[in-house]
A and B are shown apart, each in its own frame.
Chain A
Amino acid sequence: AQTVTQSQPEMSVQEAETVTLSCTYDTSENNYYLFWYKQPPSRQMILVIRQEAYKQQNATENRFSVNFQKAAKSFSLKISDSQLGDTAMYFCAFMKLVGGANNLFFGTGTRLTVIP
C-alpha cells in the first residue's frame, strides 16, 4: 500500500521569508507522480506543483519549488518570498497508475501560516 507522510502538522513563516514543507512517501512503484495541493480557507483544492518520478530535475512554479529525492522517497516543497495569500493547508499527494486508472493518495497536511 502507498502511504504519504507529512510530519509537520503546523508551520509558520514571516512574510517574504522562505519555508520548506516536508513530505515522505512509501511505494514499491518506479513510475509515479507527486503533487503539492494548497487548500486555503475557502476549502478549494488548488494544485501548486507536480513532479514526475522519472524526471530528475526538480519542478518549479514561480515561487514554489520542490526537492525530489527519489532514493530517499522524499518530496519537500519550498516556498520563497512567502506572501500572506500563501496561508493555507498544504497537502502532499502521490499518484500511481493501476490498470489504466490513476490512484491518488494524500498526506494529512501541513497548516502554514504566513505572519505579516
Chain B
Amino acid sequence: DSGVTQTPKHLITATGQRVTLRCSPRSGDLSVYWYQQSLDQGLQFLIQYYNGEERAKGNILERFSAQQFPDLHSELNLSSLELGDSALYFCASSVSGWDTEAFFGQGTRLTVV
C-alpha cells in the first residue's frame, strides 16, 4: 500500500458525460501529479499541483481540469468525454524537496462507452 488513495477504482460512463476522479495523497506530501495511461501505452503527464497551486502542465486537454484543495486532496475533472479518453488515470504524490520519490495510487480505470 503506497498510502495514495484514488477513488473510484473503476468508472464506466457514456460519451459526452462528465466525471470527477479523486486522489488523496500520502500524509505530508504536498505535490500531486496526474497521469493518463492508455492501453499498452506509457504514462502521459497531465498536470501537477504543489500545495494548492498548479506547478506544471503536460498534455492535458482543455476538456480536462484539475485542482488541489486546502486539505491537499486533488480532483481531476474530465468533461465531454470521448471514447479515446478511456484509460487508466494515475495519481501520484511526493514530498517537496530533493530527497523524495513519487508514490502512486492504484489508478482509476475509466471506460467511456
CB of B57 to closest CB in A, whole Å: 11
Distance A104 CA – B41 CA, assembled complex (angstroms):
17
Query: Could you tell me the distance in whole angstroms from the C-beta of B103 to the nearest C-beta in chain A?
Result: 8
Q: Is the CB of A106 within 8 A of B104?
A: no
Please state if A91 and B56 are interface contacts (CB–CB under 8 Å): no
CB A63 to nearest CB in B, in angstroms, measures: 20
The answer, among A35, A37, A43, for a CB contact under 8 Å with B88, is A43
Give the residue of A33, A43, A98, A106 whose beta carbon is less than 8 angstroms from that of B101.
Answer: A33
Q: A45-B90, A91-B42 are in contact. Are A100 and B50 (CB under 8 A)?
A: yes
CB <8 Å contact, B56 and A106: no
1/0 per position for A66-110, CB-CB distance to B under 8 A?
000000000000000000000000010101011111111111110
Per-residue interface assignment for chain B, residues 34 to 56, with 1 indicating a CB less than 8 Å from any chain A CB and 0 otherwise: 01010001110100101000011
What 1/0 mask marks residues of chain B from 62 to 106 whose CB sits below 8 Å from any chain A CB?
A: 000000000000000000000000001010101011101111101
Given A106-B45, A107-B42, A108-B42, check contact A99 B104 (CB 8 Å).
no
Evaluate whether A35 and B55 lie within 8 angstroms (CB atoms) in the complex, with A101-B50, A104-B45 already known.
no
Which residues of A pack against B, CB within 8 Å? 31, 33, 35, 37, 43-45, 47, 50, 52, 91, 93, 95, 97-109
- Would you mind naming 17 contact pairs between A and B with Cβ atoms under 8 Å apart? A33-B98, A33-B100, A37-B104, A44-B104, A91-B43, A95-B102, A98-B55, A101-B31, A101-B50, A101-B96, A102-B100, A104-B45, A104-B102, A106-B43, A106-B45, A108-B41, A108-B42
Which residues from chain B sit less than 8 Å from chain A, CB to CB? 30-31, 33, 35, 37, 41-43, 45, 48, 50, 55-56, 88, 90, 92, 94, 96-98, 100-104, 106-107, 109
